[in-house]
Amino acid sequence: MNLPIEVEEEDYFDYFYNEPGSIPGTLLIEDDAAPPVLFLIDYNEEGATRSKLNTPEEISPYLDSDSVSWIDVQGLGNEDVLRRLGKVFGLHPLVLEDIVNVPQRPKVEEYDKQLLIVLRMVTPKEDGKRFVSEQVSFILGDRYLLTVQEEPDYDPFGPVRERIRSNKGMICRHGADYLTYALIDAIVDGFFPVLEAYGEELETLEDDVVDNPSRATLERIHQVKRDLLGLRRAIWPQREVINSLLRDTTALMGDTVRIYLRDCYDHVVQVLEIIENYRELASSLMDVYLSSISNKMNEVMKVLTIISTIFIPLTFIAGVYGMNFNPELPGNMPELEIPYAYVICWIVMLAIAGALILYFKRRGWFDNFSGIKH
């Protein structure tokens, strides 16, 4: 995985907040939000049916059925559809506000016969560079589950849909609370492929920092640190959410599902530990980068020092015999009249330079020059 060098602005560092004085329940939808698409998966022990819904009102007959109904809404780009959806499910205005006004901090809140769960999920981009972070909201009822996603292009729920379609595992033999657990578990597990990619990137950066530290390497380290901070910001509150589901008593979440949520909580802790380890490694890479740059500068200064040291006596000799004195007068450079004085001067200068080079070589000053790259 090769992460881009340029630093991009990401929205996973921000949480939504209401403008001062705004009316509770106000829905603020971004202009580029995708229009909502509604999918229904209705299943029981015998089998499952999947269909695409044209209007929110088509959901009403399924809310009181004996089967489990999973309504998946992908996109937040139509306020009218979202308000009609809230009317069908009897959502409190504040619940609808939390669903639509993204991003919210992950949380869990219990309302009358409904449980609101807000999480953040991450999925790798198709080109393998970085990741996409988006909010997913759960409305858990007695026999139904409503999920609302920001975007229709990314989600880790494909394996859960396939398990329902093929009636594999225990998901079709349990209620909506088990479906909620399965989706939460898929969200948490979705962090591992992203972290694996960043682990490979950190290994590559380790080699680059030691072998060829450059401005591009520094920017890549900064980008990785920034992305890891975004991942930590996404997963840290979700540990509190799952812990709340385990700790608080609600009729909508059965005891059997709580046992499975313990395993999900362990995965969250594991993700947090990996993120913290990677952040420490990225910080140490920054220190190694600075040390490598300092060592490289020291090697360059060593070369310049050797060159300067060799030329100091040569410059002194050339300067002395370059002065304009009359050799015919007493005390004024009689060496200028010696035969082959010019050749002798060159021999002396080359001998001094050779002696200094041999001295520096024996001292080991030339040992690390092969590591200097221009």
pLDDT tens per residue, range 132-152: 889 999 999 989 999 999 888
What average pLDDT does this structure show over 363-368?
71
pLDDT score for 2: 42
Read off φ and ψ for residue 261, nearest 5 degrees: -65, -25
pLDDT above 60 (res 1): no
pLDDT score for 337: 77
What average pLDDT does this structure show over 153-166?
89
pLDDT above 60 (res 21): no
Between CA 41 and CA 53 the distance in angstroms is 10
Asked if the peptide bond before residue 103 counts as cis, ω within 30 degrees of 0, the response is: yes
Lowest average pLDDT, out of 20-24, 228-232, 249-253, 300-304, goes to: 20-24
Between CA 291 and CA 184 the distance in angstroms is 43
Per-residue pLDDT tens digits for 317-342: 888 877 777 777 777 777 777 888 88
Between CA 71 and CA 332 the distance in angstroms is 106
Find all residues with CB under 8 Å of 321, minimum gap 6, and list them.
333, 335, 336, 345
More confident residue, 209 or 84: 84
pLDDT score for 372: 47
Instruction: Quickly tell me which residue has 């580029």 as its tokens.
Output: 32
Q: What percent of the chain has pLDDT over 70?
A: 91
pLDDT above 50 (res 5): no
> Can you read off the two tokens belonging to residue 241?
């959410």
More confident residue, 31 or 246: 246
| Strand order through the sheet with 107-111 | 48-53, 37-43, 68-74, 144-149, 131-140, 114-124, 107-111
pLDDT band at 11 (very low <50, low <70, confident <90, very high): low
Lowest average pLDDT, out of 75-89, 198-212, 295-309, goes to: 295-309
Do residues 77 and 36 lie in contact, with contact meaning Cβ atoms separated by under 8 Å? yes
> Can you read off the two tokens belonging to residue 268?
């969250």
Nearest to 121 by CA among 82, 150, 164: 150
pLDDT band at 212 (very low <50, low <70, confident <90, very high): confident
pLDDT above 60 (res 369): no
pLDDT score for 364: 75
Strand partners, 35: none
pLDDT score for 356: 86
pLDDT above 90 (res 316): no
More confident residue, 192 or 345: 192
pLDDT score for 138: 96
Between CA 117 and CA 253 the distance in angstroms is 12
pLDDT score for 15: 64
Q: What percent of the chain has pLDDT over 90?
A: 41
Per-residue pLDDT tens digits for 58-112: 999 998 888 999 999 999 989 999 999 999 999 998 999 999 988 889 999 998 8
